Amino acid sequence: MTAPTLRRYLTQNSFDPDLVFLLEDIASASRLIAGLVRRGAFEGNLGAAGEINVQGEAQKTLDIMANDVFERECANSPRVAALVSEEVEEVTWLKEPQKGDYLLYFDPLDGSSNLDVNLSVGSIFSVMQVQADGDRNVLHNGRNQICAGYAIYGPSTMFVVTKGDEVAGFSSDPDTGEFSLTHPKMTVPAETSEYAINTSRARYWYTPVSRYVDEAVAGKEGPRGRSFNMRWTASMVADVHRILTRGGVFLYPADSNNQKTGGKLRLMYEANPMAMVIEAAGGAASTGQGAIMDVAPTAPHQRVPVILGSRDEVAVLDSYHKDAADS
């Protein structure tokens, strides 16, 4: 039996028709960005752009190009009222907002530091809705997401999407570019023996994270009684995709170096959408103090700690944070 196309899946799974159009625009942007990534070395686009974005991070040329693609493709939808991008300081309003219009949040090229070494990168997106006619508030709780997902540009280009009930993965045909369902009903195993964290930051970690990693490193002889593997790619999309396909836990926690900024990863277009994907797949997503999607946003580019993946391991980390708070 032929695998369902992205459009067929969306229409058969009760996605609103206007949301189908927007998701097809996001998928189209993903295909175009995948092409830019593939051609980057030939066209001299892998290096730095010489600009600093709103995050205080050096932009890559492809960061800017990917953002332009996202904006151009997704502005086609008459229901999109605003764009909130990692690469743009201010919210981009496309129209006078009406109740039910879409608010699109996105990281156009996550993990771009990996471009020069030819590792997987991706795009992350989240969709929410305007709450009332004329309402220009874009700071909505993550539970208000109506859809979220990501694209990953690796050996194959994949598009992963959820509206909260299940997670579906689509692969792009290299000849036609069409996305077909190849990974239906993706789930995160409840238990895992794999974790992803940037160990170069170990000197900054607070006690709960140090405790967790020390116990994992101790392996069978330690208090956890089993061996763990550590994986880290410096691309949230790549790390989360691995967890979604085979289990694991991803950590970019608050530490003594990033505490003043609230953490490292952005709530609205990184943490919230990935939390929605992981929870819909049976996993959990936490700041260490509570669920990511329960965080009340205060700014479009707000940062938060992120701990997400296999449900049982996130619960262990939450308990370690509670122990530290109670001591």
Domain spanning 194-326, CATH class: alpha beta
Dihedrals phi, psi of 102, to nearest 5 degrees = -95, 145
Contact present, 19 and 26 (Cβ < 8 Å)? no
Banded model confidence at residue 57, pLDDT cuts 50, 70, 90:
low
Contact present, 191 and 178 (Cβ < 8 Å)? no
User: Worst-scoring range by mean pLDDT, 39-53, 57-71, 236-250?
Assistant: 39-53
Tokens of residue 134, six digits: 């004329």
Q: Give residue 252's Cα distance to chain centre.
A: 13
Express each pLDDT in 121-161 by its tens digit: 999 999 999 999 999 999 999 999 999 999 999 999 999 99
Express each pLDDT in 46-56 by its tens digit: 777 656 666 66
**Predicted local confidence at residue 52, as pLDDT:** 65
Q: Is the pLDDT of residue 31 over 70?
A: yes
**Predicted local confidence at residue 44, as pLDDT:** 84
18 is in an annotated binding site: no
- What is the residue whose two structure tokens read 């799974």? 13
* Crossing angle between the packed helical segments 61-74 and 17-43, to the nearest 10 degrees: 150
Give the domain ranges of the chain.
6-183, 194-326
Rg, C-alpha atoms of the chain: 19
Banded model confidence at residue 117, pLDDT cuts 50, 70, 90:
confident
3-class SS of residue 151 = strand
Tokens of residue 254, six digits: 């608050």
Q: What percent of the chain has pLDDT over 70?
A: 96
From residue 19, alpha-carbon distances to 24, 77, 126 in Å are 8, 9, 12
Between β-strands 102-110 and 80-85, what pairing exists: parallel, antiparallel or unpaired? parallel
What value does the mean pLDDT take over residues 114-118? 85
pTM of the model: 0.95
Q: How far apart are CA 194 and CA 214, in angstroms?
A: 13
3-class SS of residue 298 = coil
Tokens of residue 33, six digits: 């960005």
**Predicted local confidence at residue 276, as pLDDT:** 98
191 is in an annotated binding site: no
Q: How far apart are CA 294 and CA 66, in angstroms?
A: 29
How does DSSP assign 264-290, residue by residue?
A: SEEIIIIIHHHHHHHHHTT-EEE-SSS
**Predicted local confidence at residue 51, as pLDDT:** 65
85 is in an annotated binding site: no
Banded model confidence at residue 116, pLDDT cuts 50, 70, 90:
confident
Q: Is the pLDDT of residue 64 over 90?
A: yes
**Predicted local confidence at residue 114, as pLDDT:** 87
110 is in an annotated binding site: yes
Banded model confidence at residue 45, pLDDT cuts 50, 70, 90:
confident
CA angle 37, 42, 46 (to 5 degrees): 50
Q: Is the pLDDT of residue 59 over 80?
A: no
The topology under which CATH files domain 6-183 is Fructose-1,6-Bisphosphatase; Chain A, domain 1 (3.30.540)
Express each pLDDT in 94-113 by its tens digit: 999 999 999 999 999 999 88
**Predicted local confidence at residue 53, as pLDDT:** 63
109 is in an annotated binding site: yes
178 is in an annotated binding site: no
63 is in an annotated binding site: no
264 is in an annotated binding site: yes
Express each pLDDT in 279-308 by its tens digit: 999 999 999 999 999 999 999 999 999 999
DSSP H or E stretch at residue 209? helix 207-218
Sign of CA dihedral 87, 82, 21, 76: negative
